[in-house]
């Protein structure tokens, strides 16, 4: 079974993020869910992003990277939206990465290196009309990553909701989240 380091989105470590982690645990995986917000959660994405700006995106990235300290090599790094920053950085830079799961965000590979690391499989998931994923260029970064990496998949879902995987938020899309979860479980089973 896989061991996963899962990072929350800009609204914090919500009950929906924890429910997703529990679903992976029920399948036999070990899942770590660090809280980069020190217990804060936010009812709206705007409020969560305001908090992230206040704390500083660089500080949040450092907290995320630091969350891997003391954990073994061989992790799958996963993140929802804002949580993709530390997940992608760790997958690209920490030795022994077993895989990456990038939900509703993707950065250009050049943010953390010159190429996606060989032997590190990655899945990227996002909605085709999500104003952040599709509208801010993440989908283009995802396509470029998939084109350049040996073992990479991009799954695009119909819809315009950001954070469609979190059942504790109004943006939740049960059908898309169910399909995403099955794809993630298949990915983890292969690790």
b/e map 123-144, b = 16+ CB within 10 Å: bbbbbeebebbbeeebbebbee
| Model confidence band, residue 31 (pLDDT cutoffs 50, 70, 90) | very high
pLDDT tens track for 136-185 = 999 999 999 999 999 999 999 999 999 999 999 999 999 999 999 999 99
**What is the residue-averaged pLDDT of the chain?**
97
d(CA 55, CA 41) in angstroms, rounded, equals: 14
Q: What residue has token string 């992790």?
A: 75
Residue 180: C-alpha distances to residues 57, 65, 68, 118, 164 (Å): 27, 25, 25, 24, 10
Output the CA angle 126-130-135, nearest 5 degrees. 105
Q: Long-range pairs for 23-31 at CB < 8 Å and ≥24 separation?
A: 23/181, 24/184, 24/185, 24/188, 27/1, 27/185, 27/188, 27/189, 28/1, 29/1, 29/2, 29/3, 29/4, 29/188, 30/1, 30/2, 30/3, 30/4, 31/3, 31/4, 31/6
pTM for the full model?
0.97
């Amino acid at each position: 079974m896989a061991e996963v380091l899962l990072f929350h989105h800009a609204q914090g470590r919500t009950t929906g993020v924890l429910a997703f982690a529990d679903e992976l645990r029920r399948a036999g995986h070990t899942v770590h869910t660090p809280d980069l917000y020190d217990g804060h959660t936010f009812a709206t994405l705007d409020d969560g992003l305001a908090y992230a700006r206040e704390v500083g995106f660089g500080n949040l990235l450092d907290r995320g990277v630091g969350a891997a300290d003391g954990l073994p090599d061989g992790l799958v790094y996963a993140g929802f939206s804002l949580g993709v920053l530390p997940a992608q950085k760790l997958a690209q830079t920490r030795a022994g990465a077993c895989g990456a799961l990038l939900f509703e965000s993707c950065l250009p590979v050049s943010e953390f290196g010159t190429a996606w690391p060989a032997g590190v499989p990655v899945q990227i998931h996002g909605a085709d009309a999500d104003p952040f994923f599709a509208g801010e260029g993440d989908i283009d970064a995802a396509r470029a990553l998939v084109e350049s990496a040996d073992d990479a998949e991009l799954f695009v879902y119909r819809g315009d909701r950001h954070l469609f995987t979190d059942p504790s938020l109004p943006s939740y899309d049960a059908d898309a989240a169910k399909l995403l979860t099955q794809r993630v479980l298949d990915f983890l089973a292969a690790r």
